[in-house]
């Protein structure tokens, strides 16, 4: 294990080894530890704290698969820390600690059909799970991936979504945008409306959802109206995480502390709480 993994509360040093500009305000950073390896082991859906003194630190979903030899983060420029991270270059150092939070129970998903639903930057944590599942393709049933963004220019990992994932066996990708351009050939409309049109059967299927809170609320509502059992609907509330270890008390939703109890929950576990998003 690397020095970083000995104490999850002590940031270690990581090196930025690649940067990709995904959209106007989102970049994906590939990081490795100082020895060239993965900073620490993690499971799909877990998060890490990135720090950049004196700007501060913030928690981010790990968007790469645990099976990859490095670690990736897709980061939207929305504040002081993310703005400073967007100024970094390949070869710069950044602090990192983790992993934090509960993962998606990928072992329990085996043999089931899987329906992934991601909105905007919410695809980032799902990408870790999707690439893990596609790497172990024989262990899982049919895979459907529904992605939605404001426009076609807002998709993160667009080439992977449109060129790599649809080539995998029994894997279909469904795209929608809020506002279509003249050359857009996919669906135009919000994700809940697209789900209603796609009309997925809930039989032997698990749904995994991530996106803005308001999207999660209406997607879960649509899935339940389609017959999905709330126990078979999973979501991650990593956007609510703050300190990552449940000490600051800023991540609570009702009786749940996202850092300690999540961020991965089923809709059954969040009964009565999703409606407050």
- Residues belonging to the binding site for [2Fe-2S] cluster are 243, 248, 251, 259
Contact 73, 63 (CB under 8 A): yes
Contact 245, 251 (CB under 8 A): no
Contact 99, 8 (CB under 8 A): yes
Quick count: other Cβ atoms within 10 Å of Cβ 243? 16
Which residues are part of a known binding site? Answer: 243, 248, 251, 259
User: Nearest to residue 110, comparing CAs of 143, 61, 65?
Assistant: 143
| Element housing 197 (H / E) | helix 191-198
Helices (H) and strands (E) in the chain, counts: 7, 15
Residue 248, both tokens = 């600051």
DSSP string, 116-151: EEEEGGGHHHHHHHHHHHHHTGGGS--EEEEEEESS
The residue length of the chain stands at: 277
Angle at 82 between CA 252 and CA 21, to 5 degrees: 125
């Amino acid at each position: 294990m690397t020095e970083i993994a000995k104490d999850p509360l002590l940031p270690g040093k990581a090196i930025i080894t690649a940067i990709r500009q995904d959209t106007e305000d989102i970049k994906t950073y590939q990081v490795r530890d100082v020895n060239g390896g993965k900073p620490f082991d993690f499971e799909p859906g877990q998060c890490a704290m990135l720090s950049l003194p004196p700007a501060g630190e913030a928690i981010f979903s790990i968007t790469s698969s645990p099976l990859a030899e490095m670690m990736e983060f897709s980061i939207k420029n929305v504040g002081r820390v993310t703005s400073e991270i967007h100024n970094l270059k390949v070869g710069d150092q950044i602090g990192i600690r983790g992993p934090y939070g509960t993962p998606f129970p990928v072992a329990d998903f085996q043999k089931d059909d899987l329906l992934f639903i991601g909105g905007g930057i919410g695809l980032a944590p799902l990408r870790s799970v999707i690439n893990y599942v596609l790497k172990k393709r024989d262990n899982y049933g049919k895979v459907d991936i529904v992605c939605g963004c404001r426009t076609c220019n807002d998709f993160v990992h667009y080439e992977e979504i449109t060129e790599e994932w649809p080539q995998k066996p029994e894997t279909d990708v469904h795209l929608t945008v809020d506002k279509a351009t003249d050359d857009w050939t996919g669906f135009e409309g919000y994700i809940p409306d697209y789900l209603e049109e796609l009309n997925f059967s809930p039989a032997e299927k698990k749904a995994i959802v991530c996106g803005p809170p308001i999207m999660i609320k209406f997607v879960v509502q649509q899935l339940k109206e389609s017959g999905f059992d709330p126990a078979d609907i999973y979501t991650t509330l990593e956007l609510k995480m703050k300190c990552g270890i449940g000490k600051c008390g800023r991540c609570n939703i009702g009786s749940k502390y996202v850092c300690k109890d999540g961020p991965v929950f089923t809709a059954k576990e969040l009964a009565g709480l999703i409606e407050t998003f």
